[in-house]
Amino acid sequence: MLRRGKAALCLTVFLLCCGCGRGGAEVTVPQVEVVEEPQVSQTEEQKRAELGLDTEAGTVLGEEEVVMMTEEGEPQTAMYTRVRGNGDFSLAYDTSEFSLTASENELRFEALSDGEADAASAFLSLRKEDEPSAEELADQYVAESGEECAVEEVTVGEGEYPAIWVSYAEGTSGDSRTCDLYVFRYNEELYVAQLDCTVADYENLGRAEHMILSTLRFDEG
């Protein structure tokens, strides 16, 4: 059966990166707080899929009802769908806000606009990479961005997995792109989570993307 999530999902990264790496853009890193332990439900088929080592990426593993605090300090209930990752992990997301495409090497959550995926608006990609180390890959992202980047050692996900965070914005206007990259290794696999949206959307869609990442859970046996 799905293990219940922690009462407060790990969001250490938010405390470390406020006000950094946005190329002068006035962007406040969105805060996410889960105030109650998620209520998990599964079918028998989903229970078997969770335990199956050959379960395909994107397979639904169950539903989780979570209660979060809004920016106004009010509790808000949301239903999240937990899916198998492209590795020994799972993620949960709100199907009313994001669509999902899954492959052997990538999970991609795209923001929905009027019920349809709008990749130009915002997306979260969690993919495998083939590089010697997380440090070298992070350096590569910094070099390729062509922007002033913030780089921090942080933790992500429910298990507080160590990661290198690289963040930058391509400009200061509302339609400029902003990108957060989290590079981490688990069980010899190297992963990158890329959270992408516009500066104007960062407080809302960026917050939703970080919420997905905060549900990251590896199967620790």
Would the pLDDT of 190 be above 90? yes
**Model pLDDT, residue 6:** 38
**Model pLDDT, residue 131:** 87
Q: Express as a percent the part of the chain with pLDDT over 90.
A: 45
How long, in residues, is the chain? 221
**Model pLDDT, residue 164:** 96
Would the pLDDT of 26 be above 50? no
Would the pLDDT of 208 be above 70? yes
**Model pLDDT, residue 143:** 94
pLDDT digits (tens, 9 = 90+) for 74-120: 787 888 999 999 888 999 999 999 999 999 899 999 999 766 655 45
- pLDDT grade, residue 55 (50/70/90)? confident
- pLDDT grade, residue 172 (50/70/90)? confident
Looking at every residue in the chain, the average pLDDT score rounds to: 79
Q: Express as a percent the part of the chain with pLDDT over 70.
A: 71
At 176, give phi and psi (nearest 5°). -70, 145
pLDDT: which is higher, 11 or 127: 127
pLDDT digits (tens, 9 = 90+) for 175-189: 899 999 999 999 889
Tell me the average pLDDT across 145-173: 92
Pair 85, 91: CB distance under 8 Å: yes
- pLDDT grade, residue 33 (50/70/90)? low
Q: What is the DSSP string of the chain?
A: -PPPPPSS---HHHHHHTT-SSTT---PPPP--EEEEEEEE--HHHHHHHH-TTPPTT-EEEEEEEEEE-TTS-EEEEEEEEEE-SSSEEEEE-TTTEEEEE-SSEEEEEEEETTEE-TTTEEEEEEEE--S-HHHHHHHHHHHH-S--EEEEEEETTTTEEEEEEEEES-SSTTSEEEEEEEEEETTEEEEEEEEEETTTIIIIIHHHHHHHHT-EE---
**Model pLDDT, residue 137:** 96
pTM of the model: 0.79
Tell me the average pLDDT across 120-142: 91
Q: How far is CA 65 from CA 3, 50, 81, 94, in A?
A: 13, 18, 9, 10
**Model pLDDT, residue 18:** 35
- pLDDT grade, residue 21 (50/70/90)? very low
